[in-house]
Amino acid sequence: MSVAQAKTTNAANGDVRIKSLITLIDTLTALVAEENAELAKGLPASRLKQVDEKNRLAETFERIVAECAVGTTSLHVRDRILREQLMDKILKLRVAMDENLVRLRAAIEASNRRIEAVMQAIREQIAAVSPYGASGRVAAARAVSSGTSRSA
């Protein structure tokens, strides 16, 4: 194989890797957008069906980025249009992920508020039947009514 053929083959392999990465980014962006739509409806984060797939794809994307950072993998794109397409997809993913972060934080805060409301209700129920006051001492005796039946 000549040097020119090797460069062409390497460029073709690079283009295939880039196209594969673009497909990964598109899939991840679509999943995140779907998750964002469900979070916008008020669904708790724990009930989302996209979480496992999103995490799997995100791990793959992170691995590729890490490999590029240390030089294990190279994503040199000679084709300007393909390079611009990749950059556009990365920016769209970033926007979707930024929105996802905001929506997940809001969902977590809403879950925490629900948990706190339930815990407060439990504390109030316990306090209502507890013989102890807030200080930990036995509370003053409560008036208890007892009825007797005088039927003849």
Q: What is the pLDDT of residues 62-90, one digit of tens each?
A: 998 888 888 777 777 788 899 899 999 99
Q: What is the pLDDT of residues 13-52, one digit of tens each?
A: 668 889 999 999 999 999 999 999 989 988 777 677 888 8
pTM assigned to the model? 0.68
The CA distance from 148 to 138, in Å, is 28
In this structure, the number of other CB atoms found within 10 A of the CB of residue 8 comes to: 12
- DSSP letters, the chain, are --HHHHHHHHHHHHHHHHHHHHHHHHHHHHHHHHHHHHHHTT--GGG-SSHHHHHHHHHHHHHHHHHHHHTSS------HHHHHHHHHHHHHHHHHHHHHHHHHHHHHHHHHHHHHHHHHHHHHHHHHH-SB-TTSSBPPPPP---------
